[in-house]
Structure 1
């Protein structure tokens, strides 16, 4: 079995490609980075270092890589693939779908065997986004092939892969946390039903939102509050600062109520999951920097992402959302100078004011009471922490 994975970054190497290798796939990475492509082809292997109370090292062997611009090599790899996956960032799904469509047009001329395509991104129903882009403009022949022979399961992925500063034997070695979860829609899989470490589920929606709310949303909240309170690492902020810790736990409690009402998941089950997540945030071995977790606030504060989605659900259900509001407001104070997206938000605030900026970024109407609540919390945080 052959797997082609778009995105040779830390998640690609340390999570998806790692599980594919453990499942017996021949793994080929695709990336736009000359450094990553050249290094993978030079060494052919790398080490995944699991960071916990003790280090565990596992070698991933016999991998290769193709540059995104090497169309001929990509055509061959995609034509032979049994599984295509991505970890390229949700913002890049549409453009990657355009590339894949052209490559699949070539494949359908030589190989009409079954195939699965899975987007492994921090976004709700990311594969659906990728699928729409692939279908858009597809020939009749390719459309028929996609409908009959290609599975497009959505998935929920969960593993923290920080840019931790540890000694590595090779530049492409990658450090990861010991926890991981990859949930895949069972009924949409064609042939890749035995990936080791993956769980195949009947209903993915609850898993996606549980992870988005309780991991990603609370993670971002810790990052943004920690940043404005001058911490550096996630574990410092959540273990040393009672205000931040309570905000994260409060975020969880608000999200748990909303998830329980919407999906019928037991509160006890969600609270057990919450405890695991808080424990992961406390892992000092990860040395996970707030600036990494908070980066690209434009995406993290957008309408269908980790902060605004649980907020809207709480408002729809008439539930309290004070801590979720805090996380969002803190995101608009995240002005990390090396983050272009963060600086863009700050420029927007200076030019157009906070109300319009919140509306622009979140997609919420300026007349919505939610905007008023976010702005009120934003002003409260400014007074408390930005003196």
Structure 2
């Protein structure tokens, strides 16, 4: 069977198979965007929006960059950077071939080319999806971590940066020297006020390099965004499904759900694609939408991931089908998260109901283990902000505290059957050492983990209501297990 690429796509019978393809001549497309972190999330979301608008706006093609591993480039290069987006729900799978990514550069072996591309006059937007840990910041404060190994390296070797902030700052330095205006930096990561966070980090790194660079970077725009689409990791079974539909081999198709949302702060001094014509919402303030997603979708997702994994559920759809977990998640959103949000009750209730339906999508094989990754970076945004707001008003936090306790139980690295958990986290070794030292004592374990200020700051460890709630839940998780603990809470 032929491999997906420009030639095979032109000769294949994809139209007869109901596969959607681009309605533009790819040879006429030129790049206007560089995207750092060309992973599944970007390819399921922003790249699809751009694909929709290139027919009428051909100067906004995307150059992608792999920052850590060349696997994306290696998979897509033989396909001329084409790939299949498979949209799945209970009714079946609809495939479309995305053509908006023109090239993918490997930051490890093509670092200079990547920086020079970002610094070229054609590039007006540098966007990024590098996950929370890619910002080299302190999640508890949102400030640049100047002791982060990558930042230490980038300050010592500014022309050969390894971090996303370092790459951005070095490209901006080249533009400054060449007399060009700074490109717009658009964060697409799940961070509160992600544009403000990105701006704060990049500006601080520029300040540490030189006053002239700092003054130049201070003029750059950092619009915030909110992106919402569930994107499970692609499996070999997914590849077979896509191959059967498109009748071509695709090394890395992307699986996703029908729902997609993109809210963007409209601040692009060098111009932008007409995102509003392809379904995005341009606003003056993204923060209410960000908070809604972080506290309702992401907070629920993380809580479900830890409790579901511990209870033996491999997929989110299996976990939410458990009546006790469904009731817990519904209550977490309705009783604890929604009262902290500035949107109308009707808007929040509609979003909640939509989320519960999306979580239950049986065709979307979203692994609890995948969502559980990098919890130390995610908890501050997804759960702890809501907890702080409720504690300040003397309100209950029982469901939220259970989510935190479930994370603590998960990072011990041993599941309820005594098997090892593959904990993927920047602080995994440190967290495991704390757990081993606690020897399954819930008070010692909670105290040890709450003392990690990079996650919990200095306030939560000393809050007796929070500590008591978390410790109580952790004791139950260790002694009775996830299923019994959830059942007891929602009874």
TM-score by length of 1: 0.91
Q: 2:93 aligns with which of 49, 55, 75?
A: 55
Q: Which residue number in structure 1 is paired with residue 140 of structure 2?
A: none
Q: 1:21 aligns with which of 32, 46, 51?
A: 51
**Secondary structure, aligned partner of 1:151:** coil
Q: Which residue number in structure 1 is paired with residue 175 of structure 2?
A: 107
Counterparts in 2 of 1:113 and 1:257: CA distance versus 1, 3 Å: closer
Q: Which residue number in structure 2 is paired with residue 132 of structure 1?
A: 200
- Structure 1, 165-174 or 269-278: larger mean CA deviation: 165-174
| Higher alpha-carbon Rg | 2
Structure 2 residues not aligned, in runs of 5+: 1-30, 55-59, 137-162, 243-248, 414-419, 439-443, 485-491
Distance in 2 of aligned mates of 1:211 and 1:323 = 17
Counterparts in 2 of 1:114 and 1:105: CA distance versus 1, 3 Å: closer
Cα deviation code 1:264-314 (max 9, x no counterpart): x2212101110001111001111111101112222233xx32011111111
**Secondary structure, aligned partner of 2:63:** strand
Q: 2:357 aligns with which of 254, 265, 279?
A: 279
Q: 1:75 aligns with which of 111, 115, 118?
A: 115
Size of the aligned set, in residue pairs, is 380
Q: Which residue number in structure 1 is paired with residue 70 of structure 2?
A: 34
Q: Which residue number in structure 1 is paired with residue 306 of structure 2?
A: 224
Q: 2:372 aligns with which of 289, 294, 297?
A: 294
Q: Which residue number in structure 1 is paired with residue 295 of structure 2?
A: 213
Q: Which residue number in structure 1 is paired with residue 421 of structure 2?
A: 337
* 1:350 counterpart = 2:436: yes
- Structure 1, 160-169 or 26-35: larger mean CA deviation: 160-169
* 1:314 counterpart = 2:390: yes
Counterparts in 2 of 1:17 and 1:3: CA distance versus 1, 3 Å: same
* Structure 1 runs, 4 residues or longer, greater than 6 Å off: none
RMSD between aligned residues: 2.2
Q: Which residue number in structure 2 is paired with residue 362 of structure 1?
A: 456
Counterparts in 2 of 1:344 and 1:141: CA distance versus 1, 3 Å: closer
Q: Is contact 1:118–1:153 with CA below 8 Å preserved after alignment?
A: yes
TM-score by length of 2: 0.72
Distance in 2 of aligned mates of 1:246 and 1:198 = 32
Q: Which residue number in structure 2 is paired with residue 203 of structure 1?
A: 285
- The alpha-carbon deviation at position 115 of structure 1 amounts to 2.8
**Secondary structure, aligned partner of 1:285:** coil
Q: Which residue number in structure 1 is paired with residue 329 of structure 2?
A: 248
Structure 1 residues not aligned, in runs of 5+: none
Q: 1:154 aligns with which of 193, 209, 224?
A: 224
**Secondary structure, aligned partner of 2:252:** coil
Distance in 2 of aligned mates of 1:385 and 1:147 = 51
**Secondary structure, aligned partner of 2:92:** coil
